[in-house]
Structure 1
């Protein structure tokens, strides 16, 4: 592992600016991540992707001739440490942040709104933050947890023909990440007339035996899962023990190749995953990174990480930020600031993050951009898409978004 990636995993501050930018303006991105506790199953891969993408863009002249600088610090998934990271980097001139943590994102939203700096919230955080008319500085570009959960319900309906009278179980880590989809699932249960059964799991997700015994009694038609890492491994064992078919288990997008290896490729056969990014390694952006960075021994981390879907997730997230900055520079030139970046992000049109996710169009009113996902099935050797990219129940989602976003008030 190269120095920058190793330092990131250890939680120290790292920067990546191959175009040495001493005494020169740079586009700084504040990456306040959990690199030491709960999210270590994903954060190093996302950091590596962010650093690689910045390096690739810097090789081509950066943004308007200025390099991108990715500044990484550890918050340990603790809101107070996330706030400290945010305040420290803001004093260094950073005006765009990413946290990869729902608890930290929720804690930082009021500060980012008050300070008028851009906070990215792609694939995490509160679902109503797509309402740009309220959350003017928050950008959940791509599918939110609300959208992903709604699309999972739509997938089940497509398979079953109707949801009326069906039972859908929701097994989730009982803290903000896992609790986030509850609002939309409860709304859809009422609309579609299915019974929603809730199975909260205490962190870190190892204690599930009693819940799966209850699942055996309840006999839900499907289980939607909002867990990650070893939580899926434990669930797979309990499903087998209780006779619940793994083919009726739809995971949130946080289920990757490492989890499959720990479950066992054959044991996991048939498991479903809602996904928000393409898992392909044949995309032009990844081929470019391999050729221009890894083949030249300039990658930010181990080469094998590129085979992980979480690496693609990181590329998708940071493609949005850098494209917003490019548009902002094209419109206004240097120097960039938060207001210009916000305008750039609000002008993303049919943007697919270099083929990594379904195209999004972000506006001043819609900071999510449509947020399509699809469901994939593990066939024992690869993930096979089960439907097209879709954004279901948008009218229902926006009704719930408006209901909750209208309650947001700054102190």
Structure 2
């Protein structure tokens, strides 16, 4: 494999309050690796997300002195969104720090698939907030995978719920044409099984349309869309693919208000390159959107006011920055939960896995953390590693995202049979014995 640059945050980016991994790490530090991509065609989305993650870890160290006195130790490794590089980063970082990696967050469904068995063997949880394997909601089969806040099967269902609402009811879906323009990768393919289930249930015609990495060539796909005239186009893109899709839709006069992106296709970099052509484009929200909330005031006070921020202060509060902040908070709170059982000290990945599986953030706790308005309560269990499956829809007005829907909750009774079937097949293929969740504590 090619050599990968693993960037110590203080040295590689900005003066930072996050403790940097060193050969002789202090013994009261919790190591958290950061797999990121600040270069290449996906950097427009990867960089702001990573900035949010870094800034929240900085906040915990600067404001609180760490997690109950245990400082956060990090090292960032550039993957370029490439699966082989992601695996190399994981192997390089998994044993660092006094107790090894607390968890891994690959920000890539492809890397997630490649690491699922490795992380289980190494007993290191893999957090895939809003992405990853949809079947890993079943914690009985996937004890170390945590697709927090929403899987792509939940996203697909929420998207179809919104289409039905716009049409005037689920019965109006019958006979409609819905296309999926997707990144031809494990990420883009993940919603297809659920959309096939939904098409069969509601009677709409479903057409998947792949786009080759990195997504800058889409003319043939949009010519096909113009010929087929679908009633809606769902967009499962990432990086430059998203803004290219908006531009190509305009080129063939496909109405942007009939496009609905997944929550990874609904950030500022996905629409601003298209200018006024993006007006009307919609996307799902992974609960939160853009904007500043109480946690941002603390980030500005304890991180940016000290010159330790990871990005331009004007970027604080953008969609993907906020997603990075939310993701980092959930990991920190899982560690905090695990400390209740195992002590206020650096924990192993196996111990943090217990914290994740017992994570229960109430509305009051979310408000206390400064995330009121960004996040709804979430409770994880052995059988449910997703925890919550709520979303909304936003629309770009040319200057900012506007929320245009009430909350949707994915149809769990509809999704769960698919989760059970696919996860059972995985367990059978891998000769893995599912846990008995009733016996877990």
TM-score by length of 1: 0.92
Where 1:313 maps in the other structure, the secondary structure is helix
Task: Confirm or deny: 8 A CA contact 1:167 1:194 kept in the other structure.
Answer: yes
- Of the structure 1 ranges 51-60 and 133-142, higher mean CA displacement relative to structure 2 is found in 51-60
Give SS of 1:267's match.
Answer: helix
| 1:133 corresponds to 2:140 | yes
SS of aligned partner of 1:388: coil
Which stretch shifts more, 198-207 or 149-158?
Answer: 198-207
Query: CA, structure 1 residues 242+336, in 2 after alignment: closer, same or farther (shift >3 Å)?
Result: same
2:357 paired residue number: 346
Give 1:6 deviation, angstroms: 7.8
Which 5+ residue runs of structure 1 have no aligned equivalent? none
Report what 1:368 is aligned to.
386
In the alignment of these two chains, the number of paired residues is 405
- The one of 278, 298, 302 equivalent to 2:312 is 302
> Contact between 1:8 and 1:44, CA under 8 Å: does it hold in 2?
no
Hey, what does 1:87 align to over in structure 2? Answer: 91
- CA 1:18/1:193 → structure 2, altered by over 3 Å: closer, same or farther? same
| CA distance 1:340–1:375, shift in 2 (3 Å) | same
Query: 2: CA distance between counterparts of 1:335 and 1:203?
Result: 40
Partner of 1:358: 376
User: How far did residue 127 of structure 1 move?
Assistant: 0.8
* Match in the other structure for 2:19: 17
Rounded to whole Å, the distance in 2 between the matches of 1:229 and 1:16 is 27
Structure 1: distance between partners of 2:9 and 2:81: 21
SS in 1 for 2:182: strand
The question of 1:143 aligning with 2:150 is answered yes
What is the rounded CA distance, in whole Å, between the counterparts of 1:377 and 1:90 in structure 2?
A: 40
Q: 1:142–1:8: structure 2 CA closer, same or farther, 3 Å change rule?
A: farther
| 3 and 81 in structure 1: CA distance in 2 versus 1, 3 angstrom threshold | closer
Q: 2:248 aligns with which of 238, 241, 251?
A: 238
- In the alignment, is the contact (CA less than 8 A) between 2:34 and 2:75 conserved in 1? yes
Quick one: distance in 2 between partners of 1:53 and 1:228?
Answer: 23
- Alignment partner for residue 80 of structure 2, among 76, 79, 94? 76
Structure 2 unaligned segments of length 5 or more: list them. Answer: 1-6, 432-441
**How much has 1:47 moved relative to structure 2?**
2.0
d(CA) in 2 for partners of 1:107, 1:18: 27
CA distance in 2, matches of 1:280, 1:79: 29
Q: Specify the alignment match of 2:435 in structure 1.
A: none
Of the three residues 4, 7, 10, the one matched with 2:9 is 4
Q: 2: distance between equivalents of 1:120 and 1:235?
A: 29
Which residue of the partner structure matches residue 102 of structure 1? 109
